Amino acid sequence: MKKILLIEDNKEISNNIKEYLELEDFKVTQAFDWEVWLDTALDKKFDLILLDLMLPEIDWFTIARKLKSKSEVPIIMITAKDSINQKLEWFENWAIDYIVKPFDLRELEARIIAHLKISKNSAKIEFGDLSININLETREFLKSWEKVKITTKEFLIFKYLFENKDRVCTRTDLIEYVWWNESLFDDDSKLDVYISNLRKKLDKKLIETVKWVGYKFIV
């Protein structure tokens, strides 16, 4: 069951959203008191945050900035305003989406499902000063906010290593996953070349060679 934090000071609106989403098998935690909003968001693990822009006593930018400094949980803004300047400001400052009041709860649910699907295929790697944002669905890599271009086979190798980062991946594992047909893999050095290219493009410390066995992703 996916967990959602709903930060909305209007109790009627909040209760309506909670009731609807819980009927659709989401677990919704409500936050009304601004003094505990941030603590609730940071202390518990949520899959997504719904954040009302018109919060009393504290502005949405401050909350979003503090949330994003501590967490990669996607934020959908709830707003009564709808100007192009505000939309640009929201996306520039870490909102993944917004929905304008009044809205159909079915539309809100659809947006939530879409972004949860994306976030499931996304990850952030931090290694010292290095920060890499990965979307396994769109095959996009952002290295310190610069887009990194990789080939299809480089991507497949990275995807397999990343998804199996808790164990050593043998050369046979990788070859079978990437080339799937031995006739397409006619040179044993191919794998080493692709691994070398990945290390150059991302960071050489992220992929460790396990002698005589294979490779392991280090995070």
Residues contacting 122, CB < 8 A, separation 6+: 133, 134, 135, 136, 137
**Residue 77, SS3?**
strand
The residue from 97, 120, 143 where one domain ends is 120
Cis peptide before 102 (omega within 30 of 0): yes
Q: Are residues 111 and 157 in the same domain?
A: no
pLDDT digits (tens, 9 = 90+) for 30-69: 988 666 666 777 666 788 889 887 766 666 666 666 666 6
User: Chain-wide mean pLDDT for the chain?
Assistant: 80
Q: Which amino acid is it at 60?
A: W
Domain interval for residue 207 = 123-217
Same domain? 37 vs 142: no
DSSP secondary structure string for all residues of 119-161: HHTEEEEEETTEEEEEETTTTEEEETTEE----HHHHHHHHHH
- Structure-model confidence comparison of residues 39 and 177, the more confident one: 177
Q: Is the pLDDT of residue 84 over 60?
A: no
User: Both ends of the chain: CA-CA distance in Å?
Assistant: 27
187 and 140 in a common domain: yes
The answer to whether residues 206 and 137 belong to one domain is yes
pLDDT the model gives residue 112: 92
Claim to verify: residue 33 and residue 140 sit in the same structural domain: no
CATH number of domain containing 151: 1.10.10.10
Please, which pLDDT band fits residue 97 given cuts at 50, 70 and 90? confident
Q: Are residues 104 and 62 in the same domain?
A: yes
| Total domains in the fold of the chain | 2
